[in-house]
Structure 1
């Protein structure tokens, strides 16, 4: 299997942040914070333009599948992490645990979920519906999951300001995109590849400046190589646990093959786009943003690799 070029680009961004942090520092002549803020708003504006009303209308009929996917995304994932909170509370691992919870509380991906479901010959229209609605739900649910536990840490957060930032930078552009979809939706869909490149560019900028600040404040100084290995093992274990739990549930519910694929592929994904955007709102005023993104980036790389393998095999079995 080929390595996703975007995963390589993420690794390069982190490397640049370590060796060439000048552009991400406060005295930099390049206003990366402003660029990232405007870019985030444009990402969700374009997201609103590309949202498929037809897929949403047809998807409403398959409510059992949608409940399984969204419950997995916003309940099963976070609860698997929350149960370990009593063991890490007040320890040196609490912040790392918080970063895993952040990953677990995020919405599902959009483009990769649809592509992988299509490759595996699953229910594509249901995948589009679930991926789209997951992003909308996440705007409200992800910060709610995080709020209770962030308040337990020693870092101060102003949640009024955080929700205002989410409304201004995400919700309002998204609504504007939905309102203008009738006029600009077709143009956005025709240029979806270019818009995807724009999305990824903004994500790379956010990752770069996040790791610049984290390296500058030596956030990773106490993180040993064995911790990274353990972190990777944890996120991989969470993925497989959720994947097989969903598989067991959909068999009990007698889902057909196409819906089983959609449930397992969409219900196990986590969105790097939403992760970088939400981390900007939740942790942008702190020096731990790079740490908060670390489990998500490991999970992102792994989910693309393993779901690509699964999708190719399932698709080949049908042909």
Structure 2
């Protein structure tokens, strides 16, 4: 039986269960320290796999469309951070300090890859450009996210030197990513044969990193610092950010004369944020005591963006075929 359109996927449900488990059964002491080392190894493995999955051919197939890639990069790393920073007078009174920092961190993250490409395919968009933009966003995020975090959080107690942050990112994320990509010719056949198992390892690793992060934050008093009204306000803030980013992506794509196929790629690559990249980056950039509040906005935004994007992809898919493209398609030969 098909899953109802607006029912959360299994991974989202497991994320919720993980947060609940870490809230009621957090780990302490030597167990927590051991789990910390385990998660460091898992993050190394995650980014090694990301690098090994990145197809050089797919990047070159879409890289010539520089206007589209420039637009996606601007939305991801300029428009989003400006939204988070510009809405500060509205957001700060509604949220706790940790949650507002989490919203700013969310705004600095790269785009998703798998869901952006899948949604572009469903919506009959420009697939080569989507693959290139989404993959490039992940790679640029390793450098740009810590820089943006340093700029946006410069006045906060939890901010750190962006150069130091970039050094940690390079060692813990960029190094395994580069190794995975260099070894891709030898690793890729194995990954393709065991794609389902690799996906399960990816998701299980993220769940364990989330459990470790929330455990440390719960022990430090996370839920006592977040009143219910602030949590409800966070849901509304995430919805507002998603609506603004998608609306601006559509407006900018049309304002600059992109085709409908390009518009689809711009919306799904520019207006989404990556949970898979975001949680490990937060683990590297922030202290364990604030990690829960930092990643909570991302964990709310993630299923929200998938649900709205799935609905929007369906609307795009039902549009009439482009007459110019139809004219270029040869008619089927008669028997």
TM-score (norm 1): 0.92
Residue 149 of structure 1, CA deviation = 4.0
Q: Is 1:8–2:13 an aligned residue pair?
A: yes
Structure 1: give runs of 5+ residues left out of the alignment.
none
- Give 1:18's aligned residue: 23
Structure 2: give runs of 5+ residues left out of the alignment.
322-335
- Give 1:80's aligned residue: 83
Distance 1:308 1:10, change over 3 A: same
Residue among 33, 43, 47 paired with 1:44:
47
Residue 282 of structure 1, CA deviation = 0.8
Distance 1:30 1:142, change over 3 A: closer
What SS is found at the alignment partner of 2:222?
Answer: coil
Asked if the contact 2:99–2:296 (Cα under 8 Å) also holds between the matched residues in 1, the reply is: no
- 1:91-111: per-residue Cα shift (whole Å, max 9, x none)? 984332211010010000011
- Residues 101-140 of structure 1: pairs in structure 2 closer than 5 A: 101-140=104-143
- 1:21-54: per-residue Cα shift (whole Å, max 9, x none)? 1xx3222288221221111111111111111111
What SS is found at the alignment partner of 1:221?
Answer: helix
Distance 1:318 1:201, change over 3 A: farther
Residue among 45, 51, 56 paired with 1:53:
56
- Give 1:241's aligned residue: 244
Asked if the contact 1:231–1:295 (Cα under 8 Å) also holds between the matched residues in 2, the reply is: yes
- Give 2:308's aligned residue: 306
TM-score (norm 2): 0.88
Residue among 59, 62, 67 paired with 2:65:
62
Residue among 240, 255, 260 paired with 1:257:
260
Tell me how many residue pairs correspond in the alignment. Answer: 316
What SS is found at the alignment partner of 1:288?
Answer: helix
Asked if the contact 1:88–1:94 (Cα under 8 Å) also holds between the matched residues in 2, the reply is: no
Asked if the contact 2:116–2:134 (Cα under 8 Å) also holds between the matched residues in 1, the reply is: yes
Asked if the contact 2:116–2:272 (Cα under 8 Å) also holds between the matched residues in 1, the reply is: yes
What SS is found at the alignment partner of 2:31?
Answer: coil
Residue 141 of structure 1, CA deviation = 0.7
What SS is found at the alignment partner of 2:225?
Answer: coil
- Residues 173-212 of structure 1: pairs in structure 2 closer than 5 A: 173-212=176-215
Residue 163 of structure 1, CA deviation = 3.1
Residue among 216, 220, 224 paired with 2:219:
216
**C-alpha distance in structure 1 between counterparts of 2:226 and 2:285, whole Å:** 22
Residue 238 of structure 1, CA deviation = 1.1
Structure number with larger C-alpha Rg = 2
Residue among 280, 288, 291 paired with 1:289:
291
What SS is found at the alignment partner of 1:31?
Answer: helix
**C-alpha distance in structure 2 between counterparts of 1:213 and 1:61, whole Å:** 45
**C-alpha distance in structure 1 between counterparts of 2:117 and 2:75, whole Å:** 17
* Deviating more after overlay: 217-226 vs 151-160: 151-160
